[in-house]
Amino acid sequence: MSAILECRNLSKSFGGVKALDGVNLSIEPGRVVGLLGPNGSGKTTLIKLANGLLTPSDGELLIAGMKPGADTKAIVSYLPDRTYLPDWMSVRQMLDFFEDFYADFQREKAVEMLGRLSIDERMHLGQMSKGTREKVQLILVMSREAGLYLLDEPIGGVDPATRDFILDTIIRNYNPSASVIISTHLIADVEAVLDEVIFINGGRIVLQKSVDEIREAQGKSVDAYFREVFKC
Amino acid sequence: MNREFRSDLPIYTQLVGQFEQDIASGAMPPGERLPSVRDLAAELGVNPNTVQRALQELEREGLVFTQRTSGRFVTEDTAAIARCKKTLGGRHIREFLAAMTLLGYQRREIIDLLQEEKEEES
């Protein structure tokens, strides 16, 4: 199968600072991948490059063989690390908005998940708690039939029940032809839902391995192994 | 099944162990239909590919089988289930014997202790 995401010698500099430095990696369809690294390791830069929000300084990044652009945005569903939807919009308006923007948006799916959480469609984002907002955004993002889901810190700063809902949503919407990339530093929380992990540090890929391989070879969890590799 | 996993073993091997336990003990009776991979994954809070891998291993062991259109079932081969139970039981016994040997007990003494335990129970 051909890669859904591929980086070849990908670099990105901001001024003189290299945020990504010669990254090579390939992600197959049907995988749930953890993009793990300490703060400032280049996780968000990599995700923004995959979205076309940034352009490479050197090398290339391909989504299903294409350079990021309108065609790739149609198959990439992105959850940013911060809220981007305006306070004044109601849930219903956001559903309309997503339906207009994305041909692959499944409105019934979103409505069903919102219903499960008893979120009223008339509610405005500005009226919601941080946790509810994050759930609504995730529901919108996961209700697309995308080829690649890019979730930047989806579980940062939410309570354990919300975290379980988020992971459950990711599992339930799993589809064997799509891949999910979850960037986080909260490894223990996501470890059980991952197929493979990518460790990134200082803009370089440290390793890309399956979770089972790490547990088998190291006799410890990915979380414990991460702490060992990135020991300060 | 529980959602807690040990950190030092691959999750799929732990899932295989849990299924073996449930099939051997009869908690999952012969011929019972298994939930779909997706439902199991959601229920257990693990990756669907991990569940898939565990089920394939159980299929290889002959403890579950797939019917093309209707899903996966626990085997109806009671001899296979009995063999699995015996293997699991044997593992517990060897662990027990290893721990007792470490304490300095001889095989004869262990059997006497088991006998005493049995008499106290009855």
The 3 state secondary structure assigned to A49-109 is HHHCCCCCCEEEEEECCECCCHHHHCCEEEECCCCCCCCCCEHHHHHHHHHHHCCCECHHH
Within 13 Å, how many C-alpha atoms sit on residue A225's CB side? 25
Nearest CA of chain B to the CA of A193: how many Å? 4
Structural domain boundaries enclosing A186: 5-84+145-229
Flag whether A44 is in a domain: yes
Flag whether A100 is in a domain: no
Query: The domain B11-78: what is its CATH number?
Result: 1.10.10.10
Flag whether A137 is in a domain: no
* pLDDT (0 to 100) of residue B120: 81
**Kind of pairing between the strands at A76-79 and A58-63:** unpaired
**A61 exposed, middle or buried (CB, 10 Å; 0-12, 13-18, 19+)?**
buried
Over residues A18-54, the pLDDT tens digits come to 999 999 999 999 999 999 998 889 999 999 999 999 9
Question: Which chain A residue has its CA at the smallest distance from B13's CA?
Answer: A212
Bridge-partner residues for A144, per DSSP?
A105
Flag whether A225 is in a domain: yes
Over residues B41-71, the pLDDT tens digits come to 988 989 999 999 999 999 999 999 998 888 9
Are the C-beta atoms of residues A165 and A117 closer than 8 Å to each other? Answer: yes
3-state SS, residue A176: coil
**Does residue B38 sit at the A interface (CB-CB below 8 Å)?**
yes
CA distances from A137 to A65, A74, A82, A132, A213 (A): 28, 18, 10, 9, 33
CATH of the domain at A182: 3.40.50.300
Flag whether A200 is in a domain: yes
Q: Which one of B8, B11, B53 has the shortest CB-CB distance to A220?
A: B8
Angle A180-A146-A10 (CA atoms, 0-180°, nearest 5)?
55
State yes or no: pLDDT of A139 exceeds 80: yes
Flag whether A205 is in a domain: yes
Sheet with A76-79: strands ordered across: A76-79, A148-152, A179-184, A32-36, A196-201, A204-210
Domain ranges of chain B: 11-78, 79-121
Flag whether A105 is in a domain: no
Over residues A107-116, the pLDDT tens digits come to 999 999 999 8
State yes or no: pLDDT of B80 exceeds 60: yes
Q: Do A31 and B45 touch (CB under 8 A)?
A: no
Task: Give the number of domains in chain A.
Answer: 1
Angle A152-A154-A155 (CA atoms, 0-180°, nearest 5)?
135
Nearest CA of chain B to the CA of A39: how many Å? 24
Separation between Cα atoms, residue A178 and residue A176, nearest integer Å = 6
- A1 vs B22, higher pLDDT: B22
* pLDDT confidence bin for A132, thresholds 50/70/90: confident
* pLDDT (0 to 100) of residue B4: 75
